[in-house]
Amino acid sequence: MSASDHRSPDDAARRIEQLRAAIRRHDRLYFVEHAPEISDVEYDRLMRELRDLEAAHPQLVTLDSPTQRVGERPLEGFVHVRHAVPMLSIDNTYSPGELREFDARVRKLLGGEPYAYVVDPKIDGVAVSLRYEDGRLVQGATRGDGETGDDVTQNLRVIRSIPLSLLGAGWPRVLEVRGEVYWPRSAFDRHNAERIARGEEPFKNPRNATAGTLKQLDARDVEPRGLAFQCHGLGQIEPVIADAPTHTAVFARLREWGLPTSPHQRLCRDIAAVIAFVEEWSTQRRALDYETDGLVVKIDSLVQRERLGTTAKSPRWCIAFKYAAEQAPTRLLSVDFQVGKLGTITPVANLEPVELAGTTVRRASLHNFDYVREKDLHVGDLVTVEKAGEIIPQVVAVDVSQRPADAARVEPPTACPACGGTVVQDEGGVYLRCVNPECPAQIVEKLKFFCGRGQMDIEGLGEAIIERLHEAGLVRTYGDLFRLSEARDRIEKLVFEQQRESSGAMRTIRVEFGSVRTDKLLRGLEAARRRPLSRLLAALNIRHVGATTAEDLAAHFGDLDALAAADEARLQEVEGVGPEVAASVREYFTSEAGRRVVEELRAVGVNFAEPRRAAAGGGGPLAGKTIVVTGTLTRYTRGEIEQLIKDLGGKAASSVSRKTDYVVAGEAAGSKLDKARELGVTVLSEDEFERMVGPRS
C-alpha cells in the first residue's frame, strides 16, 4: 500500500494541488521555454505520485489535471462548432514593394497618426482556436471555413505545450487564442523513421501529417507524435484586458499565463524596420525546428485594428510576407506515367537528386500533358525545379540552350502504362484517361482513397500495405478489405521490402508483416466497419461528392438505402445539392457497378446509417429551447454538447439572458452561472441534462 493511501482527504487535496502546480510549471519549462530544470526520471516520479493520489481519492480528480490529458473513449466523429470571432484568412505579399503598398493603405486609413507593427514567423501548420473559460481549456477547434470548424478538443488536450489550466491569475473570464499546431521537424523525422522500421509508409510532410493527426478519432494515437502549439492571434476576450492595449502587451500576459508564443516576435516602429527583418529572417528561418514560409505583419495597437477593420475575407491590419519558392537546376532523367483513381494519367519527372528546401528532391510534378507540350520537355534537359513549403516539387523551367544532342521529346502514352488498355483524351488535349474499369492501378488508387483520412480512416492500412495486399491477390474490392480477417495467416507471412541505413549507406531488407501489425490492421478494419454513413459516402469516390456533400446527404436521408432510392428531384431537396451533383449520385447508385458495391458492403456488415438528428424547432426533446453551457464538463467537450443540443432541436447560445431556458453548469461555472441565478433561469447539472434528453445512442 502506498503512502498516498494513508493521507486524509484534506492532506491529499493539498498535496494533489502542489503536484499539479509543479507538473504544470515543469511542462511549461520543458515544452514552451525549452529550459527543463529536472530530469525525466524526476518528472515521472511527480506524475506517478499524482496518479497514485488521484486513484486513492477519485473524488479529487478534475478534468484539467495533468493526468487527464488523454480521454478514455475514442470519438465516433467530429462535430462542427461556430467560432465566436471568425478566423479570417490573411492576404499575401511577395516583395518589399508590396509591403510598402500595404503600409501606404494603413497610413491613409489611420489619418497619419503614429503606429507600429509586430512581426512573427509564419508557421506552416494547422490553424486552431483555443477557448479558455475561467482559466480552463473548454474547447479547441480547427479553422475550417473560418466561420465553423471541427471540435478537436480531445486531440489538442494531449499536446503538452497547450496548458489545460492557465497559470497565475488575472486572466479574463473568456479568453480565445488562435495559433498553429505543428509537427517539429526533429519529432517528425523520428516518427517517420519508426514508421519505416515498422514497414509503414512514411508521412510525406509535417503540415499534411499534422492535419491528419488532428483528425484522429482516438487521442491515444495523437499523444506519442509530439505535436506542438504556438499562439499567434486573439479571438473573443471578455472582459477586455484593460491595461494591455497592444498585441505585444497581451502576448506578454499570455506568456505569464503559460501559453506558448514565438520567441522571435519583433516590434517594428515603421515599414523600413519590417523590411529589414524580412531580409534578416530569410536565412535565419532555416535554423528553426519547424516549417515556415514567411512572416506575418500586424498592427500592434488593438484599438487601431478595430478602426482599420476587415474586408469580407481578411483583416486590413495584417498581411503575410511569403518568401519566394526555392529553386535549383537538375537533369530530367526520365518520365513516369501515374494512373489515378479515376483513370487520369499524370506525367511525373524523375530527376538527378538535388537538395532543395532542406530535402533531397528526386521526383517532381509535370502537372499534365498540356504543360509538357508547353515546356517542350525532353529527357536529358537541364530543368529548374521549385519547392515551396509542403507543395510537391515541380518543374518550372527548361534551359533549351543546354539540351543534349540525343535528348528525346516526352510523348504521351498511346496505351495505359498500368494495364495496356485504351486511353482517351479530353477535348482540350490536357488530360489522358484510361477507360478500363479493371485497370489494376485504378483499383489500387480507389482502395487507397477509400481507406484514407477523411474517408474510412483505417488505422494500420497505409498505401504501401494496400499495394502489397493487392499484389498478393488479397484485396480487389472494398468488401475484400472487411474479409481480411479470414486471411490472417497469409497477411502475417506477407514479405515487405524496407530501406534501412547501415554504415552510412541505404540497403534493402525483407521483413514479414507479423502478428502485431496484423492485429492493428484488423482492429482498424473493425472500427471502420462502424463509421457513420457520411464517412462511407465520402469514401465511395462518387463524382462531385466530397466530405461536406456526403455529410449533407447522410444527414438528410439517414441511411444508404433511402439515399440510393432517391430520384434527382429528391436529391436536390438537400441544401447545396444541385442538378450536377444529383445526376452524379443518381448515376452511381443506379449503375451496375454502384449496386454491386452497395450489396458487397452490406454483406460484410458495413454500417449504412447516419445518427439521426432532430431539426431545430422540430420534435426533439429540446425543441424551441435556448440553452447556455458553462464551466468544465466531464462527459462532453463543449462542441459535443452544443452539437447535441442542436441535434435535439434546441439552440446553443453563448450568453445568458431572459430568453435563456436552461443553463448547463459544469465545474467552475463562473459568471454565467451567477447571471442565470440572478435572472431565475433554470440551472442543470450534467446528470440533470442527461436525464432530460435521455441516453445517447
- Are 693 and 621 in contact by the 8 Å Cβ rule? The answer is yes
Query: Cell 454500417 identifies what position?
Result: 607
Q: How far is CA 263 from CA 32, 212, 628, in A?
A: 10, 27, 38
Angstrom distance (rounded) from CA 74 to CA 471: 33
Cα gap 269→261, rounded to integer Å:
21
Q: Note if 122 is an active site residue.
A: yes
Among 587, 662, 590, which Cα is nearest to 626's? Answer: 662
Residue 654 and residue 166 in contact, taking contact as beta carbons nearer than 8 Å: no
Element (H, E) at 246: none
From residue 328, give the alpha-carbon distance in Å to each of 292, 331, 350.
Answer: 19, 10, 15
Question: What does the alpha-carbon distance between residue 324 and residue 356 come to, in Å, rounded to a whole number?
Answer: 13
- Say if CB 466 and CB 443 are below 8 A apart: no
**Among candidates 192, 164, 175, 190, which has minimal Cα distance to 132?**
175
In the DSSP assignment, the letter for residue 399 is E
List the alpha helices (DSSP H) in 151-288.
153-156, 185-197, 206-214, 247-256, 271-284
Q: How does 670-693 read in b/e, with b if 16+ C-beta sit within 10 Å?
A: bebbebbeeeebebbebeebbeeb
Residue 439, classed as helix, strand or coil, is coil
Q: Give me the helices (H) in 452-496, please.
A: 463-471, 478-481, 488-492
Q: Name the catalytic one among 108, 122, 341, 493.
A: 122
Residues annotated as catalytic (active site), given as ranges: 122
